[in-house]
Amino acid sequence: MTAAATAGLRVLVVDDVAPALDEMCQLLREAPGVTSVEAAADALTALRMIPTTTPDAVFLDISMPGMDGLELAGLLGRMTDPPAIVFVTAFEQHAVSAYGVGAVDYLLKPVSAERLGAALGRVHRVRNAGAAPAQAVDELAAVPVELGGRTRFVRRADVRFAEAQGDYVRLHTRNGSHLVRIPISRLEEHWRGVGYVRVHRSYLLAVHAVQELRSDVSGGLLAHTDVGDVPVSRRHARELRDRLLDAATRGEFDSGARRDGR
Amino acid sequence: MVGADPGGVAAGDAQMPVPRRRGLLGRRAASGAGESMDALAVGIEIATALRDGLAAPAAAGATRRLRGLLDADAVGLIGLDGAHTWSGHEVAADALVDDVLRTDRRAAHGDVTALPLRVRDEPAGVLVVAGAVPDAAVRKAAEFVSDALHRGRLESSADAAEQAELRALRAEISPHFVYNALTTIASFVRSDATRARELLLDFALYIRHNLARHGEYTTLAGEFRAVEAYLALARSVLGERLRVQVRIAPEVLPVAIPFLALQPLVENAVQHGVEHREGGGSVQVSGEAQGEDCVIAVEDDGPGMSPERAEDVLAGRGTGASLGLLNVDRRLRAVFGAGYGLVIETAPGAGTRVVVRVPRFHPGVVAT
């Protein structure tokens, strides 16, 4: 999400249904990290616009008269520096062929702002994948804390969740909590690749620490851990659920061997 | 296309020993009970190998056994689509086969005989036999193969009928619920456009899940998402009268279950436990791992029912939304076995708790 805040995306939306086109443009204009939104009502118009507007991503309806979205994506794929393709469609039957032409994501209409945010996150990651140098050193595998005048280290693996408190974060572990001077957004940059997920403006959560998801369906969602409950905001709920499903599919919660991080 | 043996493509081959006695039918030598039993066993093996038709890999096993039975040099089975399976050296019989398919009669050239195979008086393929085999034996073999093919088709259509019945048992969308939800959303369009938008997204998710036809299974994560969309809509309709808590442990999120194995239970709880009650009520849904099983519970604090009535519901004597319970019960048993039906814990005035227990890992059950 910090990447989304720094590098602005230019996007092009292609859809033959006018209200759907307007809706998608509106959602993208409201999304953080998007600097320009262009619209095209058919594939040929889009094809003419792309060389001049050079979008970073194209949000593409699949079922259109004339040239359809899959064909247009096929043509774009032959460009030297092609834009990222995100398909937007009403029906799931195309999913397999969509990923076949190298789509970054696949959205179902109607699209929610949260789901769109996740797609934009993927576009950012794909776009930055080539540029960003691999982070050689895992800088914050242990975090120094002051304890009774002495510096001790809290192992990241022991941290169930981190809670923002101004410029500080409170690291919650089974052996109590520790206040550390670091903005939560920086901690997230270091930890998101190693099993932590931002679930709220003020909370960063270890995926493996979640014992139960609790929802009252009217918007409130809590992630229950053995050191307390963490609120999950609506816009982060989907990513948390996806990460939990991935982790569970890999068997990371199995046979009581809930690992204490990595 | 399936090659001639001994290349053996057939998966079923391994289970079928090559018959020790050769030429039972060809020599008309069913003299003792032992030989009769051998012939019967070979016959059953041939029928089994042909269960999935001439084009199936297992058909290779049938040609080998037919060759043994007839003591022939080679036996070939040719399907209408040209798929052919040979045992012994493949004979150049294309002209004979064309002849048989055109005339629907026996054709022969030298010691190669070709006979039509028929299922319900329709052509189904051609049997080709090479070698010194009596005509009567070849005819008998053709009849036997025709019968086996017929039986295979009956079995597969019975399977298809069972599948169709299970599909038909899938819960139907309640029109009552749909119109109430739409009416509520229409009202929010005026008063709270953001809320209206969120509810429409929930509505889309609910409908998408209920219309899903691809694959028979979903993950518990997918089913819970649909349940939450339904509950969000139901809550917008019923307001504070409906109190909800959904709890799920992450380790059961990937568990594969049949589509709509859970949502009808939740709809039933809302309808029986909350909707018709002054002051409303609460519905709790939970999913957790218990050893090798995943246990899902749907609980309401409504009027409950007598155990006899609960029995009636599962025996198919219930009405209305309780048919949803029956439907889920039948489908779970069909997929996971008789031990995996619903358990209803209830008593008058004590609410209702419906428990679903499914294996966390079940061979052959994969979510798509």
**Interatomic CA distance for residues B206 and B187, integer angstroms:** 19
Instruction: Please state the pTM of the whole predicted model.
Output: 0.67
Does 2.40.30.20 match the CATH number of domain B11-167? no
Contacts of B301 (CB under 8 A, 6+ apart): B273, B281, B282, B351
The pLDDT tens digits of the residues spanning A171-180 come to 999 989 999 9
Average pLDDT over residues B169-192: 86
The pLDDT tens digits of the residues spanning B274-328 come to 888 888 899 999 999 999 999 999 999 999 989 888 888 888 777 766 778 888 8
The pLDDT value given to residue B213: 65
Average pLDDT over residues B45-51: 86
CB contact under 8 A, A214 and B246: yes
Which residue among A214, A216, A244 sits closest to B253, beta carbon to beta carbon?
A244
Higher pLDDT, A227 or B314: A227
Give counts: helices (H), strands (E), chain A. 8, 15
Q: Cβ of B71 under 8 Å from any chain A Cβ?
A: no
Q: Read off φ and ψ for residue B203, nearest 5 degrees.
A: -60, -45
Beta carbons of B304 and B368 less than 8 angstroms apart: no
Q: What is the mean pLDDT of chain B?
A: 83
CB contact under 8 A, A241 and B221: yes
Residue matched to tokens 């019960």: B329
Asked which of B41-45, B143-147, B193-197, B198-202 is least confident by mean pLDDT, the reply is B41-45
Spell out which residues of chain A touch residue B228, defining contact as CB-CB under 8 Å.
215, 217
Residue matched to tokens 């609460």: B282
CB contact under 8 A, B235 and A244: no
Percentage of residues in chain B with pLDDT exceeding 70? 86
Would you say residue B15 has pLDDT above 80?
Answer: no
Q: B363 — alpha (psi -120 to 50), left (phi > 0) or beta?
A: beta
**Interatomic CA distance for residues B97 and A22, integer angstroms:** 63
**Which range, A121-135, A195-209, B102-116, is most confident?**
A195-209
The pLDDT value given to residue B49: 87
Residue matched to tokens 């499914």: B358
The pLDDT tens digits of the residues spanning B193-205 come to 999 999 999 999 9
Asked which of B62-71, B164-173, B242-251, B259-268 is least confident by mean pLDDT, the reply is B164-173
Between chain A and chain B, the number of residue pairs with CB atoms below 8 A apart is 67
CB contact under 8 A, A253 and B225: no
Average pLDDT over residues B241-247: 94
Average pLDDT over residues B25-53: 74
**Interatomic CA distance for residues B4 and B63, integer angstroms:** 9
Residue A76: Cβ-neighbour burial (10 angstroms; 0-12, 13-18, 19+): buried
Asked which of B16-20, B79-83, B232-236 is least confident by mean pLDDT, the reply is B16-20
Which residue among A112, A216, A249 sits closest to B244, beta carbon to beta carbon?
A216
Q: How far is CA B28 from CA A223, B36, B69, in A?
A: 77, 11, 10
Average pLDDT over residues A34-48: 95
Average pLDDT over residues A212-236: 91
Average pLDDT over residues B239-264: 93
| A7: its two tokens | 């590098």
Q: Cis omega (within 30 of 0) on the bond before B363?
A: no
Surface of B (283-312) touching A: CB under 8 A: 288
**Four-residue CA torsion sign, A167, A120, A252, B222:** positive
The pLDDT value given to residue A5: 41
Residue matched to tokens 């509505």: B203
Query: Class assignment of domain A142-254?
Result: mainly beta
Contacts of B309 (CB under 8 A, 6+ apart): B318
**Interatomic CA distance for residues B351 and A53, integer angstroms:** 62
Average pLDDT over residues A219-234: 92
Q: What is the mean pLDDT of chain A?
A: 86
Would you say residue A149 has pLDDT above 70?
Answer: yes
CB contact under 8 A, A218 and B244: yes
Residue matched to tokens 């963490």: A230
Give the chain A residue whose CA is nearest to the CA of B244: A216
CB contact under 8 A, B235 and A218: yes
Q: Cβ of B248 under 8 Å from any chain A Cβ?
A: yes
Beta carbons of A116 and A26 less than 8 angstroms apart: no
Give the chain A residue whose CA is nearest to the CA of B288: A212
Asked which of A160-174, A222-236, B31-45, B336-350 is least confident by mean pLDDT, the reply is B31-45
Which residue among A110, A247, A253 sits closest to B204, beta carbon to beta carbon?
A110
CB contact under 8 A, B244 and A217: yes
The pLDDT value given to residue B25: 53
**Confidence grade of residue B21 (pLDDT, cut at 50, 70, 90):** very low
Stretch(es) of chain A classified as CATH 3.40.50.2300 = 2-130
The pLDDT value given to residue B210: 87
**Interatomic CA distance for residues A101 and A78, integer angstroms:** 11
Beta bridge partners of A161: A172, A205
Percentage of residues in chain B with pLDDT exceeding 90? 36
CB contact under 8 A, A215 and B208: no
Q: How far is CA A103 from CA A3, A28, A44, in A?
A: 20, 18, 19
* Residue from A235, A154, A167 nearest A197 by CA: A235
Asked which of A225-229, B8-12, B254-258, B260-264 is least confident by mean pLDDT, the reply is B8-12
Higher pLDDT, A237 or B17: A237
Stretch(es) of chain B classified as CATH 3.30.450.40 = 11-167
Other Cβ atoms less than 10 A from the Cβ of B298: the count is 28
| B289: its two tokens | 């791992």
The pLDDT value given to residue B18: 41
Q: Read off φ and ψ for residue B46, nearest 5 degrees.
A: -65, -45
Q: Cβ of B250 under 8 Å from any chain A Cβ?
A: yes
- At CA A201, angle to CA A36 and CA B245, rounded to 5? 115
The pLDDT value given to residue B335: 86
Give the chain B residue whose CA is nearest to the CA of A234: B198
Domain B170-359: which topology? Heat Shock Protein 90 (3.30.565)
Look at chain B and count its residues. Answer: 368
Quick one: which H or E segment has residue B337?
Answer: none
Would you say residue A246 has pLDDT above 70?
Answer: yes
Residue matched to tokens 């307001």: B239
Does 3.30.930.10 match the CATH number of domain A2-130? no
The pLDDT value given to residue A259: 42
Asked whether the ipTM of the predicted complex exceeds the cut of 0.85, the reply is no
Strands A159-165 and A168-173, sheet pairing: antiparallel
Stretch(es) of chain B classified as CATH 3.30.565.10 = 170-359
CB contact under 8 A, A110 and B201: yes
Beta carbons of A103 and A73 less than 8 angstroms apart: yes
Q: Cβ of B225 under 8 Å from any chain A Cβ?
A: yes
